[in-house]
Every structure is written in structure tokens, then in C-alpha cells.
Amino acid sequence: MPIVLLRVDDRFVHGQILQGWLPSTRAQELFIANDALALDDVQKMIMECAIPYNVRIVIDTVDEVSRLLQSEDAPGVRRMVIVDTPVDALRLMKAGVKFNSLNLGNMSVNGTKKPFTRSLAMGEESINAIREILKQGIGISVQSVPFEKPVDFCDLCDSYMLCSTSPQGI
């Protein structure tokens, strides 16, 4: 089950995914893990229609995507996984889904979240999930599109001490 990209993107399917990430990763399957979206048949249909015909798409709950990723025997199939928050990425990890890195793409900025970049903002729950993922040795990068240079999350957020090994940081 090679996961070629695990991305946090609260917009799920949009131009950056369709024109950038799917072609650059050569993903053959796209899994979108989101509990609310799994119940929204209209949104699922819209997203399924946007995906190229040669890419299999699965939109389901975090638990079901986790089960599918671990149970389907598909050696060599390139898989891209999208979640909308680091909390759901952590849920996948805790359920046994193996990934080496996490890409932070788009997390909408609003009044209740701390902005890190113009397209990346997190509340306390997401920040805590990031800390826990980092403790497991998973690399986290910030990158909107594949042709941008990825920025190491710890370099970006050093002033917040999210990646520090000191008691204040983690």
C-alpha cells in the first residue's frame, strides 16, 4: 500500500489536486478520509466527477479508509490520501496506516485558528495532533503545489516551539 502523498487539505478536490498533485505523484488511487463528507452524497458525487477516469477515488470515513488502506492487497499501486485536519491524519496513524511524511496544504484561516501562513491555520486540537505526529518521527512539510519547494514545518514554526524537544515545545 504505498502512500505517495498524505495531504491535509480542507478543500479536498480542487485545481491544485487535479492539475498538480495527482499528476506529479502519479497516484492511481485517491482516498479522501472525512467523516462528514462520507455522509454527503451530493459533495461526494461532485468530487467523483472531477477526478480523472484513470484514478480510482474512494471517499469514506476515516475509520473505513484506514481499514481499506490496510486490508487491500495492492502492491505497487500508488495511493494519495487527503484529510482535512492533522487530527484525522493522527487518527489514520493510530489506526495503523503507515506513512513517512505529512504534507500540509490548505487549512482555512479563520478567527479561531492561529495562522502560520496565508493558507495554513490551526486550532489547538490540530496543533496537538501535529505534536503527536512529530513525536513519532514523521516529517511534516508545508507545500501548496508540487512545483513549490517544500518547507519543513519545524523550520516554519520554530518560534512557536512546536517541534522543540524541550518541555515547553512538546
Q: Rounded CA gap, 156 and 149, in Å?
A: 13
Q: Where are the alpha helices (DSSP H) in the chain?
A: 15, 22-25, 35-38, 41-50, 62-71, 86-94, 124-135, 153-156
Q: What is the DSSP string of 96-122?
A: T---SEEEEEEB---TTSEEEETTEEE
- Out of 3.40.50.300, 3.40.35.10, 3.40.50.2300, 3.40.50.150, which CATH number does the structure's domain 3-160 have? 3.40.35.10
pTM over 0.85: yes
Find out whether 153 and 104 touch, Cβ atoms under 8 Å: yes
Domain boundaries, the chain: 3-160
pLDDT per residue of the chain (170 residues) written in tens, 0 to 9: 489 999 999 999 998 999 999 999 999 999 999 999 999 999 999 999 999 999 999 999 999 999 999 987 777 899 999 999 999 999 999 999 999 999 999 888 776 787 888 888 898 899 999 999 999 999 999 999 999 999 898 887 765 556 654 444 43
